[in-house]
Protein backbone atom coordinates (compact mmCIF):
# COMPACT_ATOMS: atom_id res chain seq x y z
CA UNK A 1 0.00 0.00 0.00
CA UNK A 2 2.59 2.58 1.02
CA UNK A 3 4.56 1.97 -2.16
CA UNK A 4 1.75 3.39 -4.25
CA UNK A 5 1.60 6.60 -2.20
CA UNK A 6 3.77 9.56 -3.06
CA UNK A 7 6.27 10.90 -0.56
CA UNK A 8 3.92 13.76 0.34
CA UNK A 9 0.93 11.41 0.67
CA UNK A 10 2.98 9.28 3.08
CA UNK A 11 3.78 12.40 5.10
CA UNK A 12 0.10 13.33 5.25
CA UNK A 13 -0.81 9.74 6.17
CA UNK A 14 1.64 9.73 9.08
CA UNK A 15 0.16 12.97 10.39
CA UNK A 16 -3.40 11.65 10.01
CA UNK A 17 -2.35 8.62 12.08
CA UNK A 18 -1.24 10.90 14.94
CA UNK A 19 -4.68 12.54 14.81
CA UNK A 20 -3.69 15.88 13.32
CA UNK A 21 -6.44 17.93 11.69
CA UNK A 22 -6.23 19.09 8.08
CA UNK A 23 -5.42 22.58 9.33
CA UNK A 24 -2.61 21.33 11.55
CA UNK A 25 -1.22 19.14 8.76
CA UNK A 26 -1.30 22.10 6.37
CA UNK A 27 0.56 24.26 8.84
CA UNK A 28 3.16 21.55 9.61
CA UNK A 29 3.85 20.84 5.93
CA UNK A 30 3.50 24.49 4.88
CA UNK A 31 0.81 23.73 2.30
CA UNK A 32 -2.82 24.82 1.99
CA UNK A 33 -5.69 22.95 3.62
CA UNK A 34 -7.08 22.39 0.14
CA UNK A 35 -3.87 20.58 -0.81
CA UNK A 36 -4.12 18.43 2.35
CA UNK A 37 -7.69 17.55 1.39
CA UNK A 38 -6.49 16.57 -2.07
CA UNK A 39 -3.73 14.36 -0.66
CA UNK A 40 -6.20 12.81 1.79
CA UNK A 41 -8.62 12.04 -1.06
CA UNK A 42 -5.81 10.40 -3.05
CA UNK A 43 -4.78 8.36 0.00
CA UNK A 44 -8.34 7.06 0.41
CA UNK A 45 -8.56 6.21 -3.29
CA UNK A 46 -5.21 4.44 -3.39
CA UNK A 47 -5.89 2.46 -0.21
CA UNK A 48 -9.49 1.61 -1.04
CA UNK A 49 -10.74 3.21 2.16
CA UNK A 50 -13.36 5.87 2.88
CA UNK A 51 -12.84 6.83 6.52
CA UNK A 52 -10.03 7.37 8.99
CA UNK A 53 -11.04 4.16 10.77
CA UNK A 54 -10.81 2.24 7.49
CA UNK A 55 -7.46 3.83 6.80
CA UNK A 56 -6.09 2.85 10.21
CA UNK A 57 -7.35 -0.71 9.72
CA UNK A 58 -5.62 -0.86 6.33
CA UNK A 59 -2.33 0.42 7.77
CA UNK A 60 -2.49 -2.17 10.56
CA UNK A 61 -3.23 -4.95 8.04
CA UNK A 62 -0.24 -3.95 5.92
CA UNK A 63 2.06 -3.80 8.96
CA UNK A 64 0.87 -7.20 10.17
CA UNK A 65 1.30 -8.67 6.71
CA UNK A 66 4.88 -7.36 6.52
CA UNK A 67 5.67 -8.82 9.96
CA UNK A 68 4.37 -12.23 8.92
CA UNK A 69 6.51 -12.18 5.77
CA UNK A 70 9.64 -11.41 7.84
CA UNK A 71 9.06 -14.38 10.19
Of residues 17 and 67, more confidence is placed in 17
| pTM of the shown model | 0.88
What confidence score (pLDDT) does residue 3 get? Answer: 64
pLDDT per residue over 23-56, tens digit each?
999 999 999 999 999 999 999 999 999 999 999 9
Residue 51 CB-density burial (10 A; 0-12 exposed, 13-18 middle, 19+ buried)? exposed
Q: Is the pLDDT of residue 17 over 60?
A: yes
Q: What is the pLDDT of residue 28?
A: 98
Amino acid sequence: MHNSLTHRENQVLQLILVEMSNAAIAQRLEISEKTVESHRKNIYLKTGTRTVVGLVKKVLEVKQSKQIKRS
